[in-house]
Amino acid sequence: MTQRKIAKIVQVKTGNPVLRDFAEPVPLEEIKSAKIKNIIDSMKNALAREEEGVAIAGPQIGEPWRIFVVSKKIFQLLDNSKIDANTEKFEDLVFINPEITKLSKEKEVMEEGCLSVRDYYGKIKRSMKASVRAYDENGNVFERGGSRLLAQIFQHEIDHLNGILFTDTAKDVQKIEKHGKK
């Protein structure tokens, strides 16, 4: 039995430049490769271990690829009446080489945090609706739209892929440690 390497989430305080670099597109012929599948599995596992994490980008586990995963946990937070047939299964969503295709002009100031900037939260202005075109784990192109929290996640994760952290533009950034944490 092979032992799976457990991915650690890269923290800003470690100074790892992967968080500030523009992530590389995954070559289309490599999407279904063992290498990319292992990276996606590592991302899913790292995200599943995080109580408050709802999404993760490749650079956050030290992988410089344009990939992000949205946790199935997010759909449990959303109003069930607004969940379409594609999300009722509550599967993690994988976005490879994502591109934002549409952002609403309507924006809202939202509270935001990040797994790579632990315990810091701030207010950031994000479009209330966003659409993303990407490839799935099988190399199929798809487009997915989202509003409010899901739109915020799309924008936050694509920022990661472009080397941008939420703290670069957020206002009122404060350290808020969780109760019981040492």
Q: Which residues are catalytic?
A: 157
Which residues have C-beta within 8 Å of that of residue 78, sequence separation ≥ 6?
Answer: 149, 150
Cβ neighbourhood burial of 51 (10 Å; 0-12, 13-18, 19+): exposed
Instruction: Give CA–CA dist 98/100, Å, rounded.
Output: 7
The conformation of residue 119, written as its DSSP 8-state character, comes to: T
